[in-house]
A and B are shown apart, each in its own frame.
Chain A
Amino acid sequence: MYGSFRLLLQVLSAQLLCVWVLGSELTFELPDNAKQCFYEDIIIGTKCTLEFQVVTGGHYDVDCRLEDPEGTTLYKEMKKQYDSFTFTAAKNGTFKFCFSNEFSTFTHKTVYFDFQVGDDPPLFPNENRVTALTQMESACVSIHEALKSVIDYQTHFRLREAQGRSRAEDLNTRVAFWSIGEAMILLVVSISQVVLLRSFFSDRKTTTTRVGS
């Protein structure tokens, strides 16, 4: 009885230990004065990383807050453009992280976040971790890890480029808009100056004649 109970416990703990949760990477739009929260159930002892970056909008900053299942704030930053936070789950339960754009009145922001929980799933679900890998297999594993970091760098680069491009397109439309606006204002102001000046002299002429006679 005790033996079978122990077996059940071992199986359960083994299953819990190798429950891998796939990392989630999402880009979403955060409207002005809005707050968006995401939740994830994490098992104690799992190493997790939260990384976020503001891609477009306003001053490219957002408030971020990460809380553990009991409500304790693990990470809180205001008006941050980009950050990465690694932590190990100290409790079992639902962790919550929120992005807030409540300080902004009319700009909506696009926020990218990458929440990695635990390790990546192994390629073979029934992989026997006891046997060592051959040289070829370990070479494949190291190439796989290197390529993963290349893809990671590519993502960061893509986000920075998107940010730069959005600023450049913004600048382009603003230059066009304000140039046309200024030319119009210039014309309107100079013509009205002349008209106003003419009207001053016209009035004085009539008054002088009246006084004269």
Chain B
Amino acid sequence: MVSVRMRSCVLSVLLLNVFYSAVSSLYFHIGETEKKCFIEEIPDETMIIGNYRTQLYDKQREEYMPATQGLGMFVEVKDPDDKVILSRQYGSEGRFTFTSHTPGEHQICLHSNSSKFALFAGGMLRVHLDIQVGEHANNYAEIAAKDKLTELQLRVRQLVEQVDQIQKEQNYQRYREERFRLTSESTNQRVLWWSIVQTLILVAIGIWQMRHLKSFFEAKKLV
């Protein structure tokens, strides 16, 4: 029989594991004044959820511990037209959400806002980052609870969301292909016109040179 103490121990271990796996594990190091930017090329009306968690190197314990409350991260999101759509400061742990209104390359930039230089003490800040785009950003447990869906209905809902995302991406691809085509046609036009202009300049200059020199030599009585 499992004792009460053992059960609580098991429960705490379970909770710990769930917490550990709930926040993303991919991390990188960022310096104090460094700004790290990530690019997301997305179609319009797509939601992006970003989760981050910071850790600071503790020299005494010689390992990375969760950062103090005073240390925050400044998150700035720019849309494809370089307009800032999100510019906020979050704490040492944060979550930011935005929805794109124009298709294209969105830039998500993070940098720390440490005002106390001693905090870093020459070390680096460890940032755990997780960015979920489009369909991956949906919280299906929440949707199931809100709309009271059965298992099968939830699965079908997930498929619908996925197909939606594929459709948006295909639409965006059409727009991108049009841009590509316009650029290629512009290059084609430019090559054609500038070749003609340069040939004309060459011929005109040649004629002018000969005429000018001929009249010059005639004036000098050398011809």
Interface 9-mer from A64-72, A73-81, A83-91, A189-197: A189-197
CA distance A52 to B172 in the complex (A): 22
Contact status A24-B26, CB under 8 Å: yes
Contact status A37-B28, CB under 8 Å: yes
Other-chain contact of A19, B21, B36, B169 (Cβ < 8 Å):
B21
In the assembled complex, B62 has its CB within 8 A of some CB on chain A: no
Contact status B213-A144, CB under 8 Å: no
CA distance A110 to B38 in the complex (A): 9
CA distance A162 to B186 in the complex (A): 18
Contact status A175-B191, CB under 8 Å: yes
On chain B, the number of residues with a Cβ less than 8 Å from chain A's Cβ atoms is 71
Contact status B25-A36, CB under 8 Å: no
Contacting residues, chain B, for A161 (C-beta < 8 A): 173, 176-177, 180
CA distance A110 to B220 in the complex (A): 64
Contact status A165-B176, CB under 8 Å: yes
Given A8-B10, A24-B130, A165-B183: A187 and B201 interface contact (C-beta under 8 Å): yes
Contact status B209-A11, CB under 8 Å: no
In the assembled complex, B121 has its CB within 8 A of some CB on chain A: no
CA distance A27 to B133 in the complex (A): 12
Contact status B9-A8, CB under 8 Å: yes
Q: Label chain A's interface by main secondary structure.
A: helix
Closest to B126 in A: A39
In the assembled complex, A172 has its CB within 8 A of some CB on chain B: yes
Interface 9-mer from B88-96, B111-119, B159-167: B159-167
Closest to A24 in B: B26
Contact status B10-A7, CB under 8 Å: yes
Contact status B13-A172, CB under 8 Å: no
Other-chain contact of B190, A140, A162, A164, A175 (Cβ < 8 Å):
A175
Contact with B along A107-140 (1 / 0, CB 8 A): 0001000010100000111000000001011001
CA distance A76 to B205 in the complex (A): 57
Closest to B20 in A: A19
In the assembled complex, A44 has its CB within 8 A of some CB on chain B: no
Interface 9-mer from B65-73, B76-84, B150-158: B150-158
CA distance A124 to B139 in the complex (A): 11
- Give the distance to chain B from A36, nearest Cβ to Cβ, in Å: 7
Residues of A within 8 A of B (CB): 3-4, 7-8, 11-12, 15-16, 19-22, 24-29, 36-41, 110, 115, 117, 123-125, 134, 136-137, 140-141, 143-144, 147-148, 150-151, 154, 157-158, 161-162, 164-165, 168-169, 171-172, 175-176, 179-180, 182-183, 186-187, 190, 193-194, 197-198, 201, 205
| Sample of 7 more A-B contacts, CB < 8 Å, known A110-B39, A154-B166, A176-B194 | A22-B132, A38-B26, A41-B25, A140-B155, A147-B163, A175-B191, A201-B222
13 inter-chain pairs at a CB distance below 8 angstroms, sorted by A residue, are A7-B10, A22-B136, A24-B24, A124-B154, A140-B156, A143-B159, A144-B159, A147-B162, A165-B183, A180-B194, A183-B197, A201-B217, A201-B222
